[in-house]
């Protein structure tokens, strides 16, 4: 079966088992390896991508469920030479240490900021509560998001 979906603004076709996990379709079939797999069980948020603008654990949904939808991965944000405001915020504030949780954090934070979510400490912590980080103790991640949100042009 062919499954058509839009990934980072490009129309893509997945050919394979429809119950392939979305994370595997992205990483293996579409070579978008920015999305990371931590727990594989919906607990850690490392695999977060946006589906029609909403953060989703890509380890939990089959690619067939993404048919016709708009998927955004961390690759859509920016590149090494041209970081997005949010990525630059993480760099400036130490929001990424080992970096394993970072793609998921970025996508969840991106959805929060883009949807007009409040960017005070508490709101950002709540928005990111499904994304686990072993390294930073969260404070620097929250600071990164707040700094980026302040710097962002309306």
Residues that bind ligand FES (CB under 6 A): 37-40, 42-47, 57, 59, 96-101, 133-136
Token output for 79: 């590149």
| 76 or 108: CB nearest ligand FES | 108
Specify the residue, 10 or 126, whose C-beta has the smaller distance to ligand FES: 126
Q: Closest distance between ligand FES and the C-beta of residue 144, in Å?
A: 11
Structural tokens at position 73: 């991965």
Q: Which of 78, 85, 38 is nearest to 59 (CA)?
A: 38
Q: Parallel, antiparallel, or unpaired: how do β-strands 10-15 and 48-51 relate?
A: unpaired
CB of 101 to ligand FES, least distance (A): 3
* In the complex, minimum distance from the CB of residue 39 to ligand FES, in angstroms, rounded to a whole number: 4
Smaller CB distance to ligand FES: residue 10 or 134? 134
What kind and span of H or E run contains 105? helix 102-114
Least CB distance to ligand FES at residue 17 (A): 19
Structural contact between residues 103 and 48, judged by C-beta atoms closer than 8 angstroms: yes
Which C-beta is closer to ligand FES: that of 53 or that of 99?
A: 99
Cα–Cα dist 48/116, whole Å: 19
């Amino acid at each position: 079966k062919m499954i058509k979906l839009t990934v980072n603004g490009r129309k893509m076709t997945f050919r394979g088992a429809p119950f392939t996990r979305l994370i595997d379709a992205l990483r293996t079939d579409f070579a978008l390896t920015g999305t990371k797999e931590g727990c594989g069980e919906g607990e850690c948020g490392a695999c977060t991508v946006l589906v029609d603008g909403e953060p989703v654990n890509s380890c939990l949904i089959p690619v067939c469920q993404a048919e016709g939808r708009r998927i955004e991965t961390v690759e859509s944000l920016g590149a090494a030479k041209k970081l997005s405001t949010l990525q630059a915020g993480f760099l400036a504030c130490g929001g990424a240490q080992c970096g394993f949780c970072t793609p998921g954090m970025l996508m969840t934070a991106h959805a929060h900021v883009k949807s007009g979510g409040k960017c005070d400490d508490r709101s950002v912590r709540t928005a990111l509560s499904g994304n686990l980080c072993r390294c930073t103790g969260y404070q620097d991640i929250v600071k990164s998001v707040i700094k980026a949100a302040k710097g962002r042009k309306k």
